[in-house]
Each structure stands twice: as C-alpha cells, then as structure tokens.
A and B are shown apart, each in its own frame.
Chain A
Amino acid sequence: MGTQTRQTLKGWLLASPLVVILSIFLVLPVIAIVVVSFWGSTAYSYYPDFQFENYTFLLTSSVTLSVYLKTFMFTAITWLLCFLIGFTVAYFLAFHIRSLPVQILLFMICTVPFWTSNIIRMISWIPFLGRNGIANNTLLSMGLIDQPLEWLLFSEFAVILAFVHLFTLFMIVPVFNSMMRIDRSLIEAARDAGASGWQILTNVILPLTKPGIMIGSIFVVTLVMGDFITVRFMSGGQSASVGRVISNEIGLLQYPAASASAVVLLITVLLMISIMLKFVDIRKEL
C-alpha cells in the first residue's frame, strides 16, 4: 500500500465515528425532509407520493412572501446591531485593554452567558419589559411617558432585543479572534505614517478583521433565519417567521408541508451563506 493510500485509510478510520454520527443525524434527516416534501398528506398522516403540491401551495401563497420579508427584516436589523455592538466590544478588548489576564477575564465575562440557557435568558426580560416592569416604571417616574408603553414586551421590538441579547457573542468571539491576530507593528507603522486613530480603525483594523466579521455574520444570520422559539416567545405568539411557520405545520402534523417549507428555508440560508463565504476562506481561519 502506498503512503498516500495508508494516510487516507487512517484518516477515514479516525473520522469514522464523526462521519457515522453526522450521516445518521444530519445527512439522512435532510434527505428524508427532501423526500417527504414531495409526499402527500391527509389530516392525520402522510403517504409516499411524488407531487409538487406542497411547493406550489407554498410558493404561490402570499403569506410565504410576507413571512420571508419579516424574517429578512429581523435578520437584517439583528445582524446590524450584533455587528456594531460586537465589533465595538471586541475592538475595546483587543486594542484598549493592555494586560492579557484582564483581557481574558473580560472576554470570559462576555462568553459565559453562551453556556447558560437561552430560554431562561428570554424569560429574564419579562420583569424588565413587562407592563409594570422596570423599564416602564422608570420612564413613568422620570415623567417621560404618561402611560406604560405596550410595545416593550411581546412585540417585534422584544424579539430583536432578545436576538441581540442572545447572539451578539457569536459576533464578538470570531471578531476578537481576528483582531488578536493582527500584527501590532502594522498599527505602529500606520501611526508612524501619520494615520489618525479613526483612519487606523477603518483602513487597517476593519479590513484585517473581515474574516472574523464574516464568520460571526454567518452565525447570526443562520440563527435568526431558522429561529422559531425566540420569535414565538418574545412576540407573545403575535409575530411570524419562517421557522415559526414550519414549527406550526409540525404542530399540525403536516409533515410534507413542513418539509417543503424547510427545504425552501434551507436553500435560502445556503444561498445567503454562499454569498458571505465569497469573502472568507473558513479553513484558513482555524
């Protein structure tokens, strides 16, 4: 056996547990969804078939378009806020904190919530945003409003707030990682050449941070596009998103319809990611 063949065999052998798990729980399920999206359904069950009814219904329904537009809106606003906040926080940590232990400590503070429950973190907004919550009471006592604001909790505002709360760290981590790899002498050189702090930020740091920004963006975009819990919980069931439509169809046991919706969602997300991947080679970033 040649060395090349032996290496390949060894590689596949070591990767086999990974390949088996992902084949059963990722590849096969996606294939199952694609197949079932062509099946027919009755009120209680579904049966093998090959028909396009699920897709024709989905793609000609006016609801689909409006739900997608709403989901894109959630995605765009959340992405923008996550980017602005995430970039600023990462920039502060990477370039303004001078001692490594402090840097690590502050970075940990930003990442710890990632290891706690998202559901609990959503529930935590109730006492703050509720009708008699902290936000309303503060604004009332300051005399800024006469009546409690009704749109704080269970609204699209709350949905976006929760998204930003949950997902900003997906932006901070890769952006911070990219920033820490920037050779500090480049910044010295820019300063020596007379660049202002702002010019260094926009002409040196921002371009070199692009890979991190793209990885963070891929996370934020896919998490928001596929979300169904945050939208349901934070809007009090009043707002729609693509994920929620699918989860409702699942709730009604309409698996073929849910599958067709899922296929369209997957294609949409993959298209968005392939555009973003044009800007970065992920394998180089590890």
Chain B
Amino acid sequence: MSERRPFSFYVLSVFFAVFVLFLYGPTLTIAILSFQGPSGGLTFPMNGTSIHWFKNLFEQQAVGDIWGSFRRSVTLGLMVMVTTVVVSVLGGLAFRTHFRGSSLVFYMVVGSLIIPSILISLGVGILFNIVDLEVHWATSGFGSQLTWALPFGLFIMFAVFNRFDRSYEEAARDLGATPWQTIRHVVIPIIAPSLIGVALFGFTLSYDEFARTLLTAGTFNTLPLEIYGMTTSVTTPVLYALGTLTTVFSFFVIGLAIIGFRLAMRKTKQPLPLD
C-alpha cells in the first residue's frame, strides 16, 4: 500500500474531479438559484435570497397541478416498484431452470431495454386506441413504464442468481423444507439486499420516466410530464425550486435504499433464527 503513486494517478484524479463537477455542477447551480429573491431571474446574479419560489410551489395558480402529479408519480412509482421486485424474482428463478425457450424470453427482455422509448409510447397509444380503451397513467402508463424498469430488475436478479450458492438450498431440502419454505426462509433472506436494489430501480425509473409515459398517461400528468409542460410556459425560478425539491426527494429515496441495504446486509450476516 505504501507504493508510490504514479504520475498518471494525479492526472486521472483531476479528470475524475472535473467529471464529478460536470455531473453535479448544474444541479447545484439550480439548487442555489432556486433561492433567488422574488425579482430574481433564471441566471446569476442572485437578486437577494428568499424562499419565495418554494412558497410559490404551494400556490395553485402559479404552477398548475404539481402536487396532484407528484401524488400520481409516487403512487405509480410504488406500483412499478412492487411489480418489478415480484416479477424480477420470479423471472430470475425461472431462468435458473434453463427451461426450453428461455432464450426467447431473454431476447424479449433485451428488446424491452433497447427499443427506442418513443416506440413504446406510440405503440401502446395505438394499441389502446384500436381496442378502444382509454389511456390512463395507472394502466397504459404503468405497463409502459414496466417495459423500462423490468429489464433492469431482471438483469440484477440474473447477476444475483448466477453467484448464488445452491448448497444452502440443498441443505434446506435435506432438512425437509418444502420448495416454498426453501424460497421463503433461505433464498429470499439471502437475496434481500439485492431486492432493495431492484426496488430502488423500480421506483426511481418510474418516478423519473418521461419518454414512455408521454402518450400513455392520459388526461392526468405524472410529475416529469408536468415539469416538461412547465418548461415551455414558466420562465421564473419556480422551475428550479421544483427541480430542487424533486432532486432532494430522489436523494431521500436513494438514502432510504442505502439504509435498507445496510440493514438487510446486517441481517444476512446474522445466524438464522431457529423457529
């Protein structure tokens, strides 16, 4: 460890620091600018500091229906999260059996990930139109978002099960556990930390999703759609205040996931309770 750092280390460190600045700088900038004074504009200089624009978010006439869209986005995020976790675990278990035709399903999953989002938006819109169903964020929007969130959840599960030590399951079976008991008391606790990761992907990919929800959300907007609508009509820092709040919310969700991950890890390391 005491080996001298090569010169390239310092060059690359600077490169990395600049990259992180590039990654976070703009977000920090709008966070600062969202505290503009009431007469401040979209760029520096700051015209005093205030929480005027955050207060503005709570006034219906200033920003439209952002709280309604926020509620819808959180609800939809939770729906996508639960579905992604359940379907990904089942899918992961399915692929362990190397069933005939599994490559077909595998290519469907890959296809779901790489298909340009606008095709999902357009196709689901047309499909609902043809069968004469109303598009709605909780039906067509929900399904469209799953085509984006599920592949991520599944790929995490594939990676998890590829590294899974099967002797635990064999031990459980030798002790007389039924297949369901093996899953419930052995497999799930061991993969629990990864499930938190899948849940994080499920929720955030839905909460921030835009392209696949555009034509499939129907009358009521989700938050990203509402924000996108605002970019053409709103020219005050209220946009930054909203951006800052949703980013803070995202960080909060990521923080929750990290805490959950650590708890699950600690639990995995403990000896199994005898019941």
Chain A residues within CB distance 8 Å of chain B: 4, 7-15, 17-19, 21-22, 24-30, 32-33, 36, 85, 88-89, 91-93, 96, 98, 106, 109-110, 112-121, 123-128, 130, 132-134, 137, 165, 168, 197, 218-219, 222, 225-229, 233, 243, 246-247, 250, 255, 258-259, 262, 265-266, 269, 273, 282-283, 286
Contacts and interface: CB of A to CB of B under 8 A. Distances in A.
Interface in B74-123: 83, 86-87, 90-91, 93-95, 97-103, 105-106, 108-112, 114-123
B180 to A, nearest CB: 13
Chain A binding surface, main DSSP class: helix
10 contacts: A10-B97, A15-B105, A17-B91, A33-B123, A33-B126, A36-B126, A96-B12, A116-B247, A117-B243, A120-B243
Contacts of B253: 115
A21 B143 CA distance: 7
Given A11-B99, A30-B119, A229-B228, A18 B90 contact: yes
Given A25-B147, A89-B16, A117-B227, A18 B120 contact: no
Contact of B27 (A9, A24, A121): A121
Residue among A18, A19, A132 with max Cβ neighbours from chain B (10 Å):
A18
Interface string B201-219: 1001001101100110000
A110 B247 CA distance: 16
Contacts of A106: 16
Interface residues of B, number: 92
A21 B30 CA distance: 38
Given A133-B43, A246-B122, A8 B243 contact: no
Closest 7 CB pairs of A and B: A226-B116, A11-B99, A29-B123, A124-B26, A14-B94, A15-B94, A25-B143
B97 A32 contact: no
Interface stretch (B49-57, B63-71, B150-158, B185-193): B150-158
Interface of B: 1, 6, 8-9, 12-13, 15-16, 19-20, 22-27, 29-30, 33, 42-44, 83, 86-87, 90-91, 93-95, 97-103, 105-106, 108-112, 114-127, 129-130, 143-144, 146-147, 150, 154-155, 158-159, 162, 200-201, 204, 207-208, 210-211, 214-215, 224, 227-228, 231, 239-240, 243, 246-247, 250-251, 253-254
A130 B43 contact: yes
A3 B97 CA distance: 11
A115 B208 contact: yes
Given A17-B87, A92-B13, A130-B42, A29 B97 contact: no
Contacts of A36: 126
Contact of A286 (B98, B159, B246): B159
A218 B114 contact: yes
Nearest to B127: A32
B12 A229 contact: no
Nearest to A27: B108
A153 B155 CA distance: 37
B120 A25 contact: yes
A85 B18 CA distance: 11
A255 B128 CA distance: 13
B97 to A, nearest CB: 4
A226 B117 contact: yes
Contacts of A134: 29, 43-44
Nearest to B93: A14
Contacts of A219: 114
Nearest to B97: A11
Nearest to B145: A25
A29 B26 CA distance: 37
A9 B99 CA distance: 8
A21 B146 contact: yes
Given A7-B98, A120-B227, 4 more contacts: A14-B93, A109-B23, A113-B23, A116-B246
A276 to B, nearest CB: 10
B208 A116 contact: yes
A33 B122 CA distance: 8
A25 B1 CA distance: 52
A124 B30 contact: yes
Contact of A88 (B15, B109, B228): B15
Contacts of A10: 94, 97, 99
B126 A32 contact: yes
A256 B146 CA distance: 25
A32 B119 contact: no
A22 B83 CA distance: 13
A88 B42 contact: no
